[in-house]
């Protein structure tokens, strides 16, 4: 007989087996093993009865059934059962599901923040019972999300007939933030202005100040945001006449130093990383998506290199702080502060765990045996952790004001006199050193100029910036940031445009509808309050069943009923338009059923055109019947969606090779296709009309030695390079179909 340790991820098995040794059996649940059943009203899997909620759980698919069967056998052979699921609310809930599904009477709950011998053995030595308050909050979240997602999607979203598939409590509020910014951009009207500057022979530039006062420096939006990288500007001048007048004065009048200010300042180190700031930093520095960042962090955690990566805390264990101080004493004594900076978590953070940090600060990035993305992220975490406990950076800041007639000009300089924490984490702009000048000194003007500019619309959010915004608004929690962004992409509510997230026409359409039908539910403040309510449940200050039944009865049920009524009114008004007559078609008077899909060109509803063609994979195709729009789309059963004909799809230059077509000289392109259930890649002429005529025999097929054509032989390209690029085409096509 032995002890049984139940964990979530199989990636931890080997490390934990090394730590615990003989007498232990370790099994992984592979995450969630049970979920709410899809039965009952609206397939919710639970019933709301007065102040009680009756939930029905079932194994999560065939995998869940197999895992539970294996775990039941392991339980029968164990003396003691320890549950070591992840140390957060979700992990506690998974632990409860394991207890229920395996009929465990008194399991030992153990939690550790890092997979190290000291931490794991200490947790085993001090087990506790499952925390019923955390479990209640986890169950409440599951029911709440399914209630909003299922009811809202079925009774509201699907009836819009616009192609939208779902809504969600966190998902829809996040989409609303993106749509609000997009509407700001669309409504933005640029204004002309002029930025005026002078340059002196003494070696510096100064910018026009209308009131003769220094320009205010605004606080950074986020404590970890780098300084504004934009070029400095003068006070805005809004007319060409005024700009020319100021330049004329600068050219005609003598310039002198009006004032010189210099001061030494310190800037405290940033806090250690938590989930949101890790995703932001990895996105900014490595272009990692939030989802990729969390997968890489999970790998580092399972290997025992970092602490748990889902946290909203910036606090560090005192024992770790002491090891960092000792490291600095030995390796960087000048950076050891007399008193370390104290970092405070945000007001709405759960603050249940430490920040993300290395498990051992003495394992420097150069000494850790990892590579690739793991090495990049570990170095990021290691540097930030040690920087957070270093001495402040010391700066010498200088400001020079000059005067010419009635005009005033300002120059700012900054020089690092002691690097402090920036040795490990540099979030400062480059030094800008000004010359040493005295008040009253006459200056020699080199040039004066007014640059015509336009105000710019607010920028779209990158994924890291969206995560930062979600955190600041209180939408979701660390475990939900990455999945929410991923879902918005998968639903095709947002797309990437130059590394920024842009709502699609479908996303904007859905958000506009929800803003009218369920206005409260998409507001960030409303969603943040719900998160705060879940926190109260987790703290044991609120009964979860009473909270959810009252929320449903007092708000959600009436809100859904109101939305259904509004949609019903709209449907009644448009029922007669679900079939339209088009006299412009060959069979005048023919009626066609409208689909729920919008035309990708003009955004009007497309019609279903019946067809008996054997080439089609469906009994109809879609056609836009709007005047001057001949867009058609065909059903792709593999991708399970309608697609434009190949000739109508935008050209992707990434599919082009460097090799010319042997017939017409145009570049060959890579083309992914499926044959006998296998995905393959071929090379063909990139000009469509030529492929149909003179280049129809140009086809190079992938072989072990490269690409080969029955007519033109082997292409002169190293096979491994071409095969690698060919695989990229297949993978890209897979992602597009998903």
Q: Which residues are designated catalytic?
A: 308
Q: What number of other Cβ atoms are within 10 A of residue 369's Cβ? A: 9
3-state secondary structure of 145: helix
Residues sharing a CB contact under 8 Å with residue 269, sequence separation 6 or more, in sequence order: 341, 387, 388, 389, 390, 391, 392, 393, 420, 421, 425
CA pair distance 100, 83, nearest whole angstrom: 12
Q: Cα-flanking dihedrals φ and ψ of residue 73, to 5°?
A: -65, -40
How far is it, in rounded angstroms, from Cα 7 to Cα 111?
10
Phi/psi for 79 (5° steps) reads -80, -45
Rounded CA-CA distance 298/21 in Å is 23
H/E stretch holding 557 reads: helix 557-574
Q: Rounded to whole angstroms, how far apart are CA atoms 453 and 107? A: 68
Q: Which residue in 346, 372, 378 sits closest to 471, CA to CA?
A: 346
Distance of CA 338 to the CA centre of its chain: 38
Is 633 exposed, middle or buried, given 0-12, 13-18 or 19+ CB atoms closer than 10 A? buried
Q: How far is residue 626's CA from residue 691's CA, in Å, rounded to a whole number?
A: 31
The token pair at 128 is 């506790």
Q: Which of 38, 3, 37, 43 is nearest to 22 (CA)?
A: 3
Cα 649-651-654 angle, rounded to 5 deg:
135
Distance CA 525, CA 143 (A): 20
Other CB atoms within a 10 A radius of the CB of residue 39 amount to 12
């Amino acid at each position: 007989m032995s002890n049984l340790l139940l964990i979530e991820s199989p990636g931890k098995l080997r490390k934990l087996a090394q730590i615990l040794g003989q007498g232990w059996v370790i099994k992984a649940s592979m995450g969630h093993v049970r979920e709410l059943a899809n039965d009952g009203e609206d397939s919710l899997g639970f019933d709301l009865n007065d102040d009680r909620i009756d939930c029905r759980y079932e194994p999560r698919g065939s995998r869940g059934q197999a895992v539970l069967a294996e775990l039941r056998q392991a339980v029968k052979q164990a003396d003691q059962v320890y549950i070591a699921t992840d140390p957060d609310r979700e992990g506690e809930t998974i632990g409860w599901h394991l207890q229920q599904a395996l009929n465990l009477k008194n399991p030992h709950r153990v939690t550790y923040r890092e997979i190290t011998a000291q931490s794991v053995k200490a947790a085993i030595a001090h087990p506790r019972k499952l925390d019923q308050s955390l479990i209640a909050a986890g169950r409440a979240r599951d029911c709440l999300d399914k209630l909003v997602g299922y009811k809202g999607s079925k009774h509201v979203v699907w009836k819009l007939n616009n192609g939208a598939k779902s809504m969600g409590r966190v998902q829809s509020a996040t989409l609303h933030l993106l749509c609000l910014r997009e509407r700001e951009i669309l409504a933005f009207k640029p204004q002309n202005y002029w930025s005026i500057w002078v340059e002196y022979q003494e070696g510096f530039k100064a910018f026009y100040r209308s009131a003769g006062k220094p320009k205010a420096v605004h606080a950074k939006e986020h404590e970890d945001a780098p300084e504004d990288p934009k070029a400095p500007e003068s006070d805005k001048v809004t007319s060409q006449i005024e700009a020319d007048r100021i330049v004329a004065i600068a050219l005609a009048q003598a310039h002198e130093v009006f004032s010189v200010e210099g001061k030494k300042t310190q800037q405290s180190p940033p806090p250690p990383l938590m989930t949101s700031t890790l995703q932001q930093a990895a996105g900014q520095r490595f272009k990692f998506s939030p989802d990729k960042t969390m997968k890489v962090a999970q790998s580092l955690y399972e290997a025992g290199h970092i602490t748990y990566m889902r946290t909203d805390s910036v606090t560090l264990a005192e024992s770790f702080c002491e090891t960092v101080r000792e490291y600095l004493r030995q390796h960087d004594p000048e950076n050891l502060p007399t008193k370390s900076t104290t970092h405070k978590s945000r007001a709405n953070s759960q603050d249940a765990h430490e920040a993300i940090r290395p498990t051992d600060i003495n394992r420097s990035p150069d000494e850790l045996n990892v590579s690739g993305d793991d090495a990049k992220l570990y170095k990021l975490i290691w540097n930030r952790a040690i920087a957070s406990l270093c001495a402040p950076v010391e700066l010498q800041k200088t400001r020079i004001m000059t005067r010419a007639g009635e005009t005033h000009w300002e120059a700012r300089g900054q020089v690092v006199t002691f690097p402090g924490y920036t040795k490990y984490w540099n979030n400062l702009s480059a030094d800008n050193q000004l010359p040493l000048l005295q008040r009253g000194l006459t200056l020699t003007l080199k040039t004066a100029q007014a640059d015509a500019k336009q105000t710019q619309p607010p920028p779209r959010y990158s994924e890291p910036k969206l995560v930062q915004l979600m955190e600041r608004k209180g939408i979701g929690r660390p475990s939900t940031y990455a999945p929410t962004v991923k879902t918005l992409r998968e639903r095709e509510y947002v797309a990437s445009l130059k590394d920024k997230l842009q709502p699609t026409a479908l996303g904007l359409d859905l958000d506009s509808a929800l803003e009218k039908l369920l206005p409260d539910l998409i507001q960030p403040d409303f969603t943040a309050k719900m998160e705060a309510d879940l926190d109260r449940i987790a703290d044991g200050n609120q009964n979860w069943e009473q909270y959810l039944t009252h929320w449903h009865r007092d708000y959600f049920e009436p809100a859904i009923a109101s939305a259904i009524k509004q949609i019903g009114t709209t449907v009644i008004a448009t029922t007669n338009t679900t079939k339209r007559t088009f006299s412009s078609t060959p069979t005048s008077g023919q009626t066609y059923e409208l689909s729920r899909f919008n035309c990708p060109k003009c955004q009007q509803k497309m019609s279903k055109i019946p067809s008996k063609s054997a080439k089609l994979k469906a009994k109809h195709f879609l056609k836009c019947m709007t005047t001057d729009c001949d867009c058609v789309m065909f059903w792709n059963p593999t991708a399970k969606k309608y697609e434009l004909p190949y000739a109508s799809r935008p050209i992707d230059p990434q599919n082009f090779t460097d090799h010319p077509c042997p017939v017409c000289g145009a570049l060959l392109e890579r083309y992914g296709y499926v044959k006998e259930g296998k995905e393959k890649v071929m090379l063909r002429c990139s000009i469509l009309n030529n492929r149909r005529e003179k280049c129809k025999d140009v086809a190079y097929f992938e072989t072990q030695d490269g690409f080969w054509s029955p007519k033109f032989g082997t292409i002169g390209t190293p096979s491994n390079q071409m095969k690698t690029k060919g695989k990229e085409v297949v993978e890209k096509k897979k992602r597009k179909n998903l």
